[in-house]
Amino acid sequence: MKECKDCSVPSFGVITVYYVAQPHSGFGFGMEAGKWNKDDSRFSYFIGAKLQWFDLVPGSDKYSNSDNNIHYTAYVKGQFEMFNRLYVVVSPEFVNLSSFDARAGLRYVFPISNNIGVGVEPAYAIVQKAYSVNANIHFALW
């Protein structure tokens, strides 16, 4: 067996960029950074932000309660490993500097190389009552 110095890394920093797909959203993207634990703990944490443009339907409840069609969100995300590469994620969010929301979902990550992984993250926003799916690219910083 060949010795692998990266295989014994208990935790590492990570930067993630992602595309957000959500109903009534024309375009959305985000970025987060944090500490990804492999062996130290099954829990990891991240801080991030995202920006989304919405195409709201006139006459709908969300249209009448919205001042604009751009949402910017800052959040803290916790991640818990259930199985190999499958995680539960929860993130309290601060939306448009005016309201709070919470998003819960799953994250599946597939490693492409030692430093890059791709993933998918379906989630549900509790206050907005909306589903979303993130397409993630993770960059390990070691």
User: Which range has the worst mean pLDDT, 5-14, 60-69, 82-91, 130-139?
Assistant: 60-69
What is the DSSP track for 53-115? EE-PPTTSHHHHT-S-SEEEEEEEEEEEEEETTEEEEEEEEEETTTEEEEEEEEEEEEESSSS
Compute the mean pLDDT over every residue in the chain, rounded to the nearest whole number: 87
Q: What is the mean pLDDT of residues 97-120?
A: 95
What is the number of other CB atoms lying within 10 angstroms of the CB of residue 1? 3
Task: For residue 33, give the nearest of 77, 83, 89 by alpha carbon.
Answer: 77
For the chain, give the longest Cα–Cα distance.
65
pLDDT for res 140: 93
Domains of the chain: 6-141 (2.40.160.20)
Q: Residues near 90 by Cβ (< 8 Å), separated by ≥ 6?
A: 77, 78, 102, 103, 104
> Is residue 5 scored above 70 in pLDDT?
no
Amino acid at 32: E
Tell me the pTM.
0.82
pLDDT in tens, 39-67: 778 999 999 999 999 876 666 555 545 55
Backbone torsion region of residue 75, taken as left when φ is above 0, otherwise alpha when ψ lies between -120 and 50, otherwise beta: beta
